[in-house]
Amino acid sequence: MFGSIGMQEIVLILFILLLLFGAKRLPELGESLGKGIREFKRGVSEIKEDIESDDQPKGG
């Protein structure tokens, strides 16, 4: 899933994030990250749909 990143590396990253931001802010950061990823995916799919609709011949 994460390529060559193992479980130990993920735990270390989470521990560093916990130290940097504190336990109270981590859920907020996760929520913001999730929203950002959803918006990015939505934008990519809209661009893909636009490109595909431009490739189709226009009737008329």
Is there a domain that residue 15 lies in?
no
Burial of 26 (0-12, 13-18, 19+ CB in 10 A): middle
Structural domain range at position 32? 23-54
Task: Give pLDDT tens digits along the chain (60 positions).
Answer: 557 888 899 899 989 988 888 888 888 888 998 999 999 999 999 999 988 888 776 654
Is there a domain that residue 28 lies in?
yes
Give the per-residue pLDDT at 60.
47
Is there a domain that residue 3 lies in?
no
Structure tokens at 14: 């989470």
pTM of the entire predicted model:
0.57
Structural Rg of the chain based on CA atoms: 19
Structure tokens at 59: 């009737």
Domains: count for the chain: 1
